[in-house]
Amino acid sequence: MKVSYWFKFLTVLFTFSACSHNNKEIDISDVKIDFKFSRFEKDLQSLNTNNATEAKQKLVVNYGQFFERFNENIIQIGSSNQTGYELAVSSFLNDAAISTVYNDVQTTFASTDQLANDFETALKHYHYYFPNKIVPHIATFISGFNYPIAVTDSVLGVGLDMYLGKNYKYYKLMAIPNYQVDFMSKHYIVVDALRSWLQTEYEGMDVHKNLLSEMLFQGKLMYALDYILPQEEDSIKMEFTAKQLQWVTNSEQSIWAYFIDKNLLYSTKASENVKYINSAPFTIGMPKASPGRVGVWLGYRIISAYMERHKEITLAMLMEEKNAQKILNDSHYKPRK
């Protein structure tokens, strides 16, 4: 059962050609999906009425597991089946701060038509490349600044209160670091959501026994996003500024040399490895012009080299390949000078 929350992260009637993963621009006009996009935060307001019991049943039917996970894990008021639930959810909905955030979300996201269209396009690409996988129901919510993305078995939730723009007043009051706030705008919603969905779909496939394994797993996610979101800017997908993207591009040989000289690839020290995977103002040990997540970018470069040499491998096959050492060896990766 899939239940994941992220702070920031085959039987079909057609087949893929051997070079399918080289063509990012595909025709999805004939791709059919059961697409659903719902404003859960608006639907939740129905519990603040005299018909709360009936409204609750509708939420259970419409949102399934996500509704309970929202109650228990995201806003942490317990199951909707417990005594006193209606009072607890009413307290949440009527909290002055939550009401303010709710109104701000409704102003910033007065229309979600474009967001829904972007998700539908992305999920059609996703279904094209991963036809055996579930296409999730998209549900927006307000988390009280707890989660940007929430993933359950069939619902991909988006915490809109985490994407109100870098100048949003509450982010400043909460002293969220600039390197995080810079990416807390609507431009990053679909990227964050699809990366999180992919990660939960495939995280059990990889054994992250060392930094190389984690780098290549993250690299596979980034590589897949190139095809799921072919129109998206590389800096958005990688969550780098334009200057940071230019820095890693110009410094690829130095970055690879650093990882080799420091014997980092086979490090099993999780507390050290996260320095190269997680977001940060810069990568410790590298110039301050470097971004965080340099290991993710390097993993992406290795995966790109691997796929360039193996045009017979589809995205689904790539995601199911568990052997990180095999990928590295077969990639014949050489950094750009």
Would you place residue 219 in the very low, low, confident or very high pLDDT band (cuts 50, 70, 90)? very high
Name the burial class of residue 153, with classes exposed (0-12), middle (13-18) and buried (19+) by CB atoms within 10 angstroms of its CB: middle
pLDDT at site 205: 56
Mean pLDDT across the chain: 91
Q: How is residue 271 written in tokens?
A: 């507390």
Q: What residue has token string 């939740």?
A: 44
At CA 166, angle to CA 164 and CA 168, rounded to 5? 55
Would you place residue 337 in the very low, low, confident or very high pLDDT band (cuts 50, 70, 90)? confident
Residue from 73, 4, 3, 6 nearest 239 by CA: 6
Q: What would you report as the CA-atom Rg of the chain, rounded to the nearest whole angstrom?
A: 21
pLDDT tens-digit map of 299-313: 999 999 999 999 999
- SS3 assignment for the chain: CCCEEECCCCCCCCCCCCCHHHCCCCCCCCCCCCCCEEEHHHHHHHHHCCCHHHHHHHHHHHHCHHHHHHHHHHCCCCCCCCCCHHHHHHHHHHCHHHHHHHHHHHHHCCCCHHHHHHHHHHHHHHHHHCCCCCCCEEEEECCCCCCCEEECCCEEEEEHHHCCCCCCHHHHHCCCCHHHHCCCCHHHHHHHHHHHHHHHHHHHHCCCCCHHHHHHHHHHHHHHHHHHCCCCCHHHHHCCCHHHHHHHHHCHHHHHHHHHHCCCCCCCCHHHHHHHCCCCCCCCCCCCCCCCCHHHHHHHHHHHHHHHHCCCCCHHHHHHCCCHHHHHHHHCCCCCC
Name the burial class of residue 89, with classes exposed (0-12), middle (13-18) and buried (19+) by CB atoms within 10 angstroms of its CB: buried
pLDDT tens-digit map of 160-199: 999 999 999 999 999 999 999 999 999 999 999 999 999 9
Average pLDDT over residues 20-44: 87
In angstroms, how far is the first alpha carbon of the chain from the final one? Answer: 45
Handedness of CA 53, 59, 61, 64 (dihedral sign): negative
Residue type, 310: H
Domain boundaries, the chain: 4-201, 206-331
Average pLDDT over residues 230-252: 95
Across the strands, what pairs with 5?
150
pLDDT tens-digit map of 88-123: 999 999 999 999 999 999 999 999 999 999 999 999
